[in-house]
Amino acid sequence: MQEQITQLVGQAQKILVIQADNPDADSLGSSLALEHIVGDLGKDVYMYCGVDMPTYLRYLTGWDRVRNELPSTFDLSIIVDASTYTLFEQIEKGGNWGAIRSKPAIILDHHTVVEKPLDFASVSLVDSAYASTGELIFELARTNGWRVSKDAATHIMSTILGDTQGLMNDQTTARTYRAMADLTDLGANRPLLEEIRREYSRMPESIFRYKAELIERMEFSAGNRIAHVAIPQAEINEHSPHYNPAVLVQFDSLQVEHVEISIVFKIYDNGKITGKLRCNYSAPIAAKLAEHFGGGGHPHSAGFKVTNGRPFNEVKSECIEFAEQLLNNLEQEQPDETLQHTNT
């Protein structure tokens, strides 16, 4: 498989790197890392994302080189951190799948459970053993002998920190720590990266006050084991350009006593409903809950989308009920001593 990737990259001159419509530190960092790694091979790299890059990700140098229009010509596409049609609404709306399908394509991802998987790629390298897509790209680059510059190493480090919540969740493995050490040797500076990220994460007063509103609206169910809040389209439109509303409260809610899973629902005017799921270490149920609604992800971090017009209250009730069922099942399966490690 890696030999095929090497051959496809070697044969192409203009390479299109594609992110999904929900960019995060992993997708953006992976794109920027590939821009440097493949660019150092003498290739022309064009980065695409169907939506504007959120403000909170703009600490990653080069974010402004990502375009939301596809190029007229390219020889190869590399799709990063996504392997499902459901995350590419803008490409679907623009009728652009035909152009992408007409050229060789490589998928690099670490999400193995997805709805409507992309089915046209020449090569799909999808492996959930990696903490982030960026970590997978790092391994791919080293296997192929591709140069990983200081800038590329910094972007790869940002993908790992983003998807492991700062090396705090169980996606972090011994290989992840070894990768972090190797990236440090290549010039990536974690303290500096964190300082820059924190600076860009500073919120305007209006966002701070909106955070207070979300905290006030946060609900708790199943003996306070489930925290959940709903965000309507109007608030998404107003606040998302400045700060991801889910990020404002999701991790804080996981620090509330007894809470094991936090769910942030987004309700769109067109009837679409999304759920962003985050769990504490003791309750790895996010992927199973997401799969119930046709989504996917990792045990502690996952998401789903409902587009069949179901009423929100119906989706919400089913989600909370199934989450409680999963928590109860987990409680029966786990040894007593494991259950003591909550809210970590």
Tell me the per-residue pLDDT of 118-167, one tens digit each, with 9 for 90 and over.
999 999 999 999 999 999 999 999 999 999 999 999 999 999 998 887 88
Determine contact, residues 122/146, Cβ cutoff 8 Å: no
Band of pLDDT at residue 243, cut at 50, 70 and 90? confident
Lowest-pLDDT range of 2-6, 158-162, 201-205, 262-266 = 201-205
User: Which residue type sits at 240?
Assistant: S
Beta bridge partners of 106: 78, 123
| Max avg pLDDT among 147-161, 279-293, 297-311 | 147-161
Tell me the per-residue pLDDT of 26-40, one tens digit each, with 9 for 90 and over.
999 999 999 999 999
182-217: string of b/e by CB count within 10 Å (b at 16+)?
A: bbeebebebeebeebbeeeeebeeebeebbeebeee
Percent of the chain with pLDDT over 90: 80
Mean pLDDT over all residues of the chain?
93
Of residues 39 and 169, more confidence is placed in 39
Work out the number of other CB atoms within 10 angstroms of the CB of residue 270: 7
In a 3-state reduction of DSSP, which class is residue 185? Answer: helix
What average pLDDT does range 51-64 have in this prediction? 91
User: Which residue type sits at 137?
Assistant: I
pTM, rounded to two decimals: 0.84
Work out the number of other CB atoms within 10 angstroms of the CB of residue 67: 11
* Residues shown for the chain: 344
Token readout for 14 is: 């203009």
Question: Can you tell me the distance from the alpha carbon of 218 to that of 226, in angstroms, rounded to the nearest whole number?
Answer: 10
Domains located in the chain, CATH noted:
2-199 (3.90.1640.10), 205-339 (3.10.310.30)
Beta bridge partners of 47: 17, 66
Residue 165 vs residues 59, 134, 275: alpha-carbon distances, Å: 16, 14, 19
